Amino acid sequence: MSQPVINYLAVLVAALASMAIGMLWYGPLFGNMWKKLMNFTDRDMKKMNMTAAQAMIFGFISTLVLSFVLAHFVDYLNAITFRAALQVAFWIWLGFIATVMLGMVLWEGKPWKLYFLNAAYQLVSLAVMAVILALWA
């Protein structure tokens, strides 16, 4: 088996793109809906265990890991087109993210609307990341 060909700059840009999508998704686009579905008030948000900066740093690290692993899938599957990238993203989302996230509804009692909001973000984010990684080979 040959060594994977990973473009580390593309990995970084894909992670940054995911973070930007998250800021929009959980900010101006659906932030109020998310807070309502989580039963959070502005006061609750200020009492979180981590500061916003700390959460962003840890979030970025986890997104960077996700981007790196996704780059391996893109390389392994030789996804070099827009369509192939979207297929990789969809199947990874369906098999590993959408299914695992179901636990929030099944075991944690979270509302289905929250599941769909979070799962949709993950799908959009993975799709954008996969396209960046596939086309920037």
Residue 51's pLDDT is 83
Residue 88's pLDDT is 98
pTM: 0.92
Per-residue DSSP letter, 4: P
Is 101 contained in some domain?
yes
With the CA atoms of 89, 98, 58 and 9 taken in that order, what torsion angle do they form, in degrees rounded to the nearest 10?
0
Q: Give the whole-angstrom CA distance, residue 77 versus residue 106.
A: 33
Is 1 contained in some domain?
no
Is 68 contained in some domain?
yes
Residue 56 Cα to chain centre, angstroms: 13
- The token pair at 86 is 């979207």
Residue 1's pLDDT is 62
Residue 15's pLDDT is 98
The number of folded domains in the chain is 1
Give the domain extent around 125. Answer: 8-135
For the chain, 137 residues long, the average pLDDT of each consecutive 10-residue run is 88 98 97 93 78 90 98 96 98 97 95 98 98 93
Residue 23 Cα to chain centre, angstroms: 11
Nearest to 12 by CA among 68, 51, 85: 68
Contacts of 6 (CB under 8 A, 6+ apart): 68, 71, 72, 75
Residue 92's pLDDT is 98
Q: Are 91 and 83 in contact (CB under 8 A)?
A: no
Is 2 contained in some domain?
no
